[in-house]
Amino acid sequence: MEPITPSFNNIKNVGLPDFCFLEHLDENEIMNNISTRFHKDHIYTYIGEQVVSVNPFSKKEHLYSDQTLKSYHNMYMYEVPPHIYSLAQDTYKKLLLTKENQCIIITGESGSGKTEASKILMEYITKASINNKINEKANSATLDRSEIIMKLIMDSNVILEAFGNAKTLKNDNSSRFGKFIEIEFDEKGAPISGKIQQFLLEKSRVHTRAIGERSFHIFYQFLTSKEITSKFQLSDDPSYYRYLKDSMCFNVSNINDGREFKLVGQALQSLGWTQEDLDSMYRILGAVLLIGNLEFCNDQEKANVDAVNVKNPSILKKIAALLDCNEDQLEKSLISRSLTLGVSKRKSSIRVLLNTNQAMETRDALAKVLYDRLFNTIIEKINKAISSDIDRKNIESMIGILDIYGFEVFENNSFEQFIINYSNEKLQQLFINLVLRQDQEEYIKEGVEWKFMDNYFDNTPIIDLIEGQPVGLLKLLEEACLIGQNTPELLIQKMNQFFGKHNHFESYETTNNLSITNQSFTLKHYAGSVTYNLEQFIYKNKDPLYQDLINTMQSSKNNFLLSLFQLDFLKASNQQTGAKKIPTTMASQFKVAINDLIGKLNSCQPHYIRCIKPNDEKRPGHFDYERVKHQIRYLNMLETVRVKKAGYCNRQHYTRFLARYKMIAPATWPFWNGTVKDGAMEIAKVLIPSPIDRQAECQFGKKKIFIKSAKTLFHLEELRSKQMPKVCIIIQRHWRGYQARKWYKSELARLQQEKEEIQKQILRKKSVAKIQNCYLRYRIRTYFKKLQPWAVGPTYCKGKAIPTLWPKKSALEDLIQVIHITWWAKMKVCSLSMEQRALVRQKILALDLFGMGYFKKKEWDCRRKFSADYLSDDSNPKKLQFSEAVQLLFQKGGDKEILFADNVVKINKRGKSQLRTLIITDQHIYKYDSKKYTQKKVGLKIHSIVALSTSNKRDTFLSIHFKAPVRDLFIDLGCDSVEKVSEVSTNLVQQVFKLTGTTIPLLFREPLTFNNSRDSRTSGTDFVISFAHYPKGKEQRQCTFVKGKANTAVIYYPID
């Protein structure tokens, strides 16, 4: 980075970064320094806090890289090399510090780089402010809003350049309007809103311009879009349109119209333009171009008057279609004009026919007004998008950037140049006033030692000549417009009469200069002499817009077009209501606008960028010594440097100074009782301890302190910044103390309240306990009173006994018991596995069948597990044989499950006991040989069982009754002294129900009968069985079947 501290060895190499560092101040030194720097690619140089910029006419990427931009963040100007970034940073810093409005005035000739500088400024401010917001940890909504606002402002640049810039002989991208952009910030320095004001668009460029120049860029841009030209049936060849063809320039080497057009479209869309708005805009642009192609010819039918007709009605028709208005009315308003005669009630209107020249003038007026209104509407829409009513109340301060058209001299200078140069004079005057005159006047007023320098060029006389009262050039021009039939010659005569002897005015009468005709005059501007051709002055100043044209446009059915002419409706109604008149002529309107602007700039802290054009040929790296010297001269550069070098960079009222810096000096902190001036002196002592240096750096005026160099000011700020943490701690201490006291008080009150509440609660509880106690005692008393008659004894109760019976159970209690049992059972069942549940089901059925204890069958064991298969057990030595037999049985098919298998004693038809193996499957009852495990006879079908019977004694016999002729089966199921009657019976009842759906009965009989002798031929005889205990002394553990006479038998069973 370029060192900023002056090293005089550097002058020869890269030049000094600040002109104020020059030891011997003269024009040559300034020229040498600026030229050296320019050739070493240092295009920026300071004059104190101003930046002088020399247009390089070539891209200097490194100057604007992100890295360069970042290196300027939060830096002071004197710490970093001269750049527009440092000026932008300084402006933004001052805005944050002082909360005062700031403005940056960019001046310079046309093509000197003002517009580029404004873009560089905006880029920096955008990035710096957003970066600042991020550091401040702003809420994301504001951050987004700031980014959106800055993006919209940057985007609007593209639109404004397309519609307001054009190629001139001096600059390929010359701004043909002036603009003042205001970026408005909230208190934290976030951009929240914006405003753009435009000054006097050079609308005559739409129809006339010098050869080699172009009209506004947008015309060439939109013709590059085939889609649009074919949509509106327009020719895409610029040379087809007379308005574009006349100046014989269509392309600019370094401008890509097609690409720019796409950017414009995107920017318009980001501002919220709908496709309908865009289409209406293309229609107007197309119409403006076609209007230029309208031609007029004499009307043959009206031989004795000067009247014309439109020569090419097809074009007229196209224009009417594009503008969506009536074709006849449009023609009428182009070739004739309605005039109002008389006043009030005697008012009448006549139609005057126009000659060819007048018709052409009217035609151009229409094109101009359409374009001008379109431009203004675009700015209005931009303003609507970038400003916000909601944020308005949060606006704290603003930065205004003024980029107005630069001083211009052409071969033929017309009204526009006059206005442009007039505005440059005004800005130059502002500069002189703020930088040169006011500074010095203040030093003297304040009694500071100062030698007044007045050898700068003061342009006040030129401004007086132009806008002076009661007579000035503008006034004469306005008068000329009010009087009909006024000519340039008459106007010149008037000018000569008043200003013939004025130093800055020349005309053919006052000079021998032959180039000045009787239709022109020369003004000696601060930047050079310019000869103005008066030919179009009166017309352009009047800027007539014929009412008929306005009426025609107002009859359009296109809403967008109508909105361009809305103000005319308003004006008409204002005229009717007699509202305040707006100045009518262009120059007087401009005078009001520029004076307003100057007023606004005067109320801001100004910053300057002075742009210099190194050559007229736009040649990169070429330094035209004479051309630059001329600019240095008229910009009063030498004088500015002198004043700045000798002067003071900063002045502040003592009160403000003391308030801001009192923490620097122990004497003034925290209270100072003396005068403010003495206070400021105390601060200065700390700032510069050496009295000699202090005298050189600080001057104490009557009301203000003056600080000589920026360095001292920055040192002051640094001292303040160093003290600020201490101040902050004091403020924090007080604030925290205050907060803690506040908290303590509120906490004390809260605790007191809580205590009272607790006491109340305790009391309440005590009361409740007391009431409860009383009530309980009351209940006991009443109970005992009830008992008293019994308790007192027989003597007193007359023989009544104390009640001993419990009160009766209520139905509800029964129900609750049932519910409880049900719930208890459910809980039990739920805890069982599926297998266990099946067993429980069997046990319940067994319980149903056999009852508990002695009720139905004696001695059946409810707790015994029904194991079903007793032969696959390890206790069976022939276990394997048995399982083979079972496999064989299952292979025959039909049977799937063994319900019971065990050895039993079977009683045959002759009453003999036989040991058998009984296998009950899901389908059959099989009798097997209990040794060989072979099947005896066929299996008995379970579904043909009709009943079961047993005794209710302790025997273990069961009779299974089959449907005749199948024989009943009588078996002893207690061979191993374990009772299995209950298991077999339950299984059989369950299985018969499963197979047939009927529940067979289990009968308890004594004597018990069964028939095991019938077959298909004989019905057999019933066996009758009776039951008896073993006789005493002959007891056995198992039962015994003893056959009696005929078909009777006795079964002996063990005693209980």
Ligand X SMILES: Nc1ncnc2c1ncn2[C@@H]1O[C@H](COP(=O)(O)OP(=O)(O)O)[C@@H](O)[C@H]1O
Q: Are 521 and 499 in contact (CB under 8 A)?
A: no
What's the min distance (Å) between Cβ of 84 and Mg ion?
A: 15
Sequence letter at residue 727: V
Q: Are 20 and 645 in contact (CB under 8 A)?
A: yes
> Do the annotations mark residue 110 as ligand-binding?
yes
Task: Single out the catalytic residue among 33, 101, 110, 531.
Answer: 110
> Do the annotations mark residue 109 as ligand-binding?
yes
> Do the annotations mark residue 467 as ligand-binding?
no
Q: Are 965 and 981 in contact (CB under 8 A)?
A: no
Out of Mg ion, ligand X, none, what residue 563 binds, judged by CB under 5 to 8 A for its kind, is none
Identify which of 416, 362, 384, 481 has the alpha carbon closest to the alpha carbon of residue 201: 416
Q: Which of 32, 35, 131, 173 binds ligand X (CB under 6 A)?
A: 173
Asked if 573 is an active-site residue, the reply is no
Out of ligand X, Mg ion, none, what residue 256 binds, judged by CB under 5 to 8 A for its kind, is none
Q: Are 1002 and 854 in contact (CB under 8 A)?
A: no
Q: Which of 36, 45, 112, 142 binds ligand X (CB under 6 A)?
A: 112
**Selected range binding ligand X among 106-114, 311-319, 776-784, 982-990, rule: CB under 6 A:** 106-114
> Do the annotations mark residue 867 as ligand-binding?
no
What's the min distance (Å) between Cβ of 475 and ligand X?
A: 30
> Do the annotations mark residue 115 as ligand-binding?
yes
Task: Single out the catalytic residue among 33, 53, 156, 174.
Answer: 174
What's the min distance (Å) between Cβ of 106 and Mg ion?
A: 9
What's the min distance (Å) between Cβ of 311 and ligand X?
A: 39
What's the min distance (Å) between Cβ of 18 and ligand X?
A: 19
Q: Are 999 and 989 in contact (CB under 8 A)?
A: yes
Q: Which of 89, 110, 636, 640 binds ligand X (CB under 6 A)?
A: 110
185-204 residues near ligand X, rule: CB under 6 A? none
Binding site for Mg ion (CB under 5 A): 114-115, 175
- If residue 444 lies in a helix (H) or strand (E), which one and from where to where? helix 438-445
Structure tokens at 938: 């066929």
Asked if 29 is an active-site residue, the reply is no
| DSSP notation for 504-559 | TEEETTT---TT--TTEEEEEETTEEEEEE-TTHHHHHH----HHHHHHHHT-S-H
Q: Which of 129, 157, 175, 421 binds ligand X (CB under 6 A)?
A: 175
Between CA 407 and CA 403 the distance in angstroms is 12
Asked if 110 is an active-site residue, the reply is yes
Task: Single out the catalytic residue among 400, 406, 911, 939.
Answer: 406
Instruction: Kindly list the strands in the beta sheet with 528-533, ordered across the sheet, starting from the edge strand earlier in the chain.
Output: 505-507, 520-525, 528-533
Q: Are 109 and 527 in contact (CB under 8 A)?
A: yes
The angle at the Cα of 592, spanning 591 to 597, to the nearest 5 degrees, equals 95
Identify which of 696, 692, 669, 665 has the alpha carbon closest to the alpha carbon of residue 681: 665
Q: Which of residues 115 and 991 has its CB atom nearest to Mg ion in the complex?
A: 115
The dihedral built from the CA positions of residue 145, 148, 154 and 159, taken in this order, carries a sign that is: negative
Q: How many angstroms separate the Cα of 477 from the Cα of each of 515, 585, 588, 686, 882?
A: 22, 9, 9, 61, 139
**How far out from the chain centre does Cα 98 lie?**
31
Which residues, including other chains, have CB under 8 Å from residue 290's CB and lie 6 or more apart? 234, 241, 315, 318, 319, 322
Q: Which of residues 175 and 923 has its CB atom nearest to ligand X in the complex?
A: 175
SS3 368: helix
What's the min distance (Å) between Cβ of 56 and ligand X?
A: 5
> Do the annotations mark residue 108 as ligand-binding?
yes
Out of Mg ion, ligand X, none, what residue 112 binds, judged by CB under 5 to 8 A for its kind, is ligand X
Between CA 790 and CA 786 the distance in angstroms is 9
Q: Which of 45, 86, 91, 174 binds ligand X (CB under 6 A)?
A: 174
Q: Are 492 and 505 in contact (CB under 8 A)?
A: no
Q: Which of residues 136 and 616 has its CB atom nearest to Mg ion in the complex?
A: 616
Sequence letter at residue 451: K
Asked if 175 is an active-site residue, the reply is yes
Between CA 958 and CA 981 the distance in angstroms is 6
Between CA 981 and CA 536 the distance in angstroms is 138
Per CB under 6 A, does 56 bind ligand X?
A: yes
Between CA 837 and CA 859 the distance in angstroms is 24
> Do the annotations mark residue 112 as ligand-binding?
yes
Q: Are 1029 and 1055 in contact (CB under 8 A)?
A: yes
Q: Which of residues 109 and 506 has its CB atom nearest to ligand X in the complex?
A: 109
Q: Which of residues 259 and 766 has its CB atom nearest to ligand X in the complex?
A: 259
What's the min distance (Å) between Cβ of 623 and ligand X?
A: 15
Task: Single out the catalytic residue among 45, 53, 171, 520.
Answer: 171
Structure tokens at 452: 């007044």
Asked if 793 is an active-site residue, the reply is no
Between CA 274 and CA 698 the distance in angstroms is 60
Per CB under 6 A, does 17 bind ligand X?
A: no
Q: Which of 171, 588, 985, 986 binds ligand X (CB under 6 A)?
A: 171
**Selected range binding ligand X among 114-122, 311-319, 509-517, 577-585, rule: CB under 6 A:** 114-122
What's the min distance (Å) between Cβ of 32 and ligand X?
A: 22
What's the min distance (Å) between Cβ of 51 and ligand X?
A: 11
Out of Mg ion, ligand X, none, what residue 785 binds, judged by CB under 5 to 8 A for its kind, is none
Q: Which of 111, 178, 606, 911 binds ligand X (CB under 6 A)?
A: 111
Tokens 């009518």: give the residue: 584
Task: Single out the catalytic residue among 129, 175, 1012, 1047.
Answer: 175
Between CA 1048 and CA 864 the distance in angstroms is 33
Per CB under 6 A, does 57 bind ligand X?
A: yes
Out of ligand X, Mg ion, none, what residue 921 binds, judged by CB under 5 to 8 A for its kind, is none
Asked if 529 is an active-site residue, the reply is no
Per CB under 6 A, does 82 bind ligand X?
A: no
Per CB under 6 A, does 406 bind ligand X?
A: yes
Asked if 258 is an active-site residue, the reply is no
Q: Are 688 and 700 in contact (CB under 8 A)?
A: no
Q: Which of residues 108 and 189 has its CB atom nearest to ligand X in the complex?
A: 108
Q: How many angstroms separate the Cα of 819 from the Cα of each of 428, 813, 816, 825?
A: 107, 10, 5, 10
Between CA 110 and CA 803 the distance in angstroms is 126
Per CB under 6 A, does 250 bind ligand X?
A: no
What's the min distance (Å) between Cβ of 408 and Mg ion?
A: 11
Per CB under 6 A, does 712 bind ligand X?
A: no
Between CA 762 and CA 507 the distance in angstroms is 109
Per CB under 6 A, does 116 bind ligand X?
A: yes
Q: Which of residues 15 and 113 has its CB atom nearest to ligand X in the complex?
A: 113
Asked if 406 is an active-site residue, the reply is yes
605-644 residues near ligand X, rule: CB under 6 A? 611
> Do the annotations mark residue 292 as ligand-binding?
no
Per CB under 6 A, does 59 bind ligand X?
A: yes
SS3 917: strand
The residue sitting closest to ligand X, measured at its beta carbon, is 113
Residues within the annotated binding site for ATP? 108-115
What positions carry a catalytic annotation? 110-111, 115, 171, 174-175, 406, 408
Binding site for ligand X (CB under 6 A): 55-60, 108, 110-116, 171-175, 406, 611
Give the residue numbers of the binding site: 108-115
